[in-house]
């Protein structure tokens, strides 16, 4: 194992210490909880194909169901609370980093928030992520206006905490 880590680190231009710390961080932040929560690994191409088999309406309905049901369960299990912080910091960052479902960006300026999910998986995934974000944020930001924009490969949500 040591030999493999050294060769891999050399090839990647990083230290073995960095690799070990990264593995430990993943174990603590993701793997321990993912296994207990019932997460499974699937090839991205399979997920894309499955989403393509849904209609636009079914993609939206699935996103709404996840935002209403599965996401709160995920957040409660991982962070012991359902809050804006656990959605933004927890779900979004961890899912981007470890599940690799999308690239995640956020920006906050004077209470104005912008969240971006860059997924590259097509229009139905955008419908799904838009519905998921709208549902989750609507439930947390009672009464706040949530604006969304989407392309085939990205979803953007804007809202204010002021």
Full set of structural domains in the chain with CATH: 2-36 (no CATH), 43-160 (3.90.1520.10)
pLDDT at 148: 96
- Give the model's confidence band at 14: pLDDT under 50 very low, under 70 low, under 90 confident, else very high: very high
User: Who wins on pLDDT, 1 or 130?
Assistant: 130
Task: Find, among 95, 52, 44, the residue nearest to 70 by Cα.
Answer: 95
Over residues 46-80, the pLDDT tens digits come to 988 999 999 999 999 999 999 999 999 988 988 89
Type and span of the H or E element at 116: strand 112-118
Do 79 and 90 meet the contact criterion of CB atoms below 8 Å apart?
Answer: yes
Which of the 8 DSSP states describes residue 89?
Answer: I
Instruction: Give the pLDDT confidence of 96-125 residue by residue, as tens digits.
Output: 888 888 999 999 899 899 999 999 999 999
- In the chain, % of residues over pLDDT 70: 99
Q: What is the pTM of this model?
A: 0.82
Q: Who's near 161: CB < 8 A, 6+ residues apart?
A: 84, 111, 112, 113, 141, 144
Alpha-carbon distance of 155 to 117, in angstroms, equals 5
Q: Examine the pLDDT at 39 and tell me if it is beyond 90.
A: no
Which class for 157: exposed (0-12), middle (13-18), buried (19 or more C-beta within 10 A)? Answer: buried
Between CA 52 and CA 47 the distance in angstroms is: 9
């Amino acid at each position: 194992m040591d030999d493999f880590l050294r060769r891999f680190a050399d090839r990647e231009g990083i230290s073995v210490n960095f690799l070990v710390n990264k593995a430990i961080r993943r174990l603590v932040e993701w793997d321990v909880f993912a296994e207990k929560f019932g997460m499974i690994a699937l090839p991205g191409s399979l997920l894309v194909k499955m989403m393509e088999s849904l209609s636009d309406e079914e993609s939206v309905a699935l996103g709404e169901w996840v935002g209403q049901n599965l996401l709160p369960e995920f957040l409660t299990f991982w962070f012991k609370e359902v809050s804006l912080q656990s959605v933004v910091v927890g779900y979004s960052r961890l899912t981007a980093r470890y599940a690799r479902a999308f690239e995640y960006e956020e920006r906050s300026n004077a209470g104005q928030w912008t969240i971006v999910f860059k997924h590259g998986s097509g229009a139905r995934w955008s419908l799904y992520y838009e519905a998921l974000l709208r549902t989750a944020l609507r439930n947390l930001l009672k009464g706040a206006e949530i604006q969304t924009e989407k392309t085939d490969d990205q979803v953007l949500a804007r809202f204010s905490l002021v």
